[in-house]
Amino acid sequence: MILDAKAFPKTFKEAPILAAQVKDGKLPVVDKRLPEPSQLFVVKPLREIGKYGGNWRRAFTGPADHENGNRINSLDKILTFDYTGTKIIPSLARDWKVSDDGKTTTIYLRKGSKWSDGKPFTADDFMFWYQEIYLNKNINPTPFFEFQINGKDGVMKKVDDYTVAFEFPEAYPFFVSQLAGSTAIGGGFATRGGFQNFGGAYCPA
């Protein structure tokens, strides 16, 4: 991972399907779709930059190897693990901080990040998920174990447009591992525009 802004690439590549949309005027050029330069997350390839297309084959150890599927299909996460699987690194969040008492984990989002429709990705997307999906008993009748410590629920709070705090009644030192895990507290964020067509008060039965 490249953290020094001076070392960031000056030009960027993109998938051919996206380049075609740019050419047709359906999508802004790649530079206009990225976060602010100082907020970029650039992953250094382990060996070399891959090529688009082809087939991806993976082996599973057996029927119980469901985590293999989770690792492939899970959403982009707030935090993630490096390629060794031993170190937590930034992902959608540019940084995080755990309070001295271990009860509060604060994440700092990347300014300029956007959803696929071009709308800003902010703390409001976290609060929408928390207030209208996670706390909605019709959608989510059972609390996620990742969002609890010793059976006690955590609380999500918006600090500002790009800062979100997760507060727990007891020290939860490994909560950052949950944010980086394959299920990542069931998402943790959602776009109102994408959700309102499918459920809750936005789509009455």
> Domain 77-202: what homologous superfamily?
Dipeptide-binding Protein; Domain 1 (3.90.76.10)
Q: Model pTM? A: 0.79
SS3 (DSSP) at 23: helix
d(CA 66, CA 60) in angstroms, rounded, equals: 9
Give backbone dihedrals phi and psi of 163, rounded to 5 degrees, phi first.
-140, 130
SS3 (DSSP) at 160: strand
CA 184 to chain centre: 8
Name the residue ranges covered by the structural domains of the chain: 1-57, 77-202
d(CA 166, CA 45) in angstroms, rounded, equals: 32
- The secondary structure element, H or E, covering residue 123 is helix 123-129
SS3 (DSSP) at 19: helix
- pLDDT per residue, tens digit, the chain (205 aa), is 555 656 655 667 788 888 899 999 988 888 888 888 778 877 777 777 778 888 888 888 888 877 777 667 667 789 988 888 889 999 999 999 999 999 999 999 999 888 877 789 999 999 999 998 899 888 888 888 889 999 999 999 999 999 999 999 999 988 999 998 766 666 788 888 777 666 556 555 5
**The predicted structure's pLDDT at residue 5:** 55
d(CA 203, CA 133) in angstroms, rounded, equals: 13
Taking CA atoms, 105 is separated from 17, 48, 58, 155, 178, in Å, by 38, 35, 34, 11, 11
Q: What tokens does 143 get?
A: 């609390």
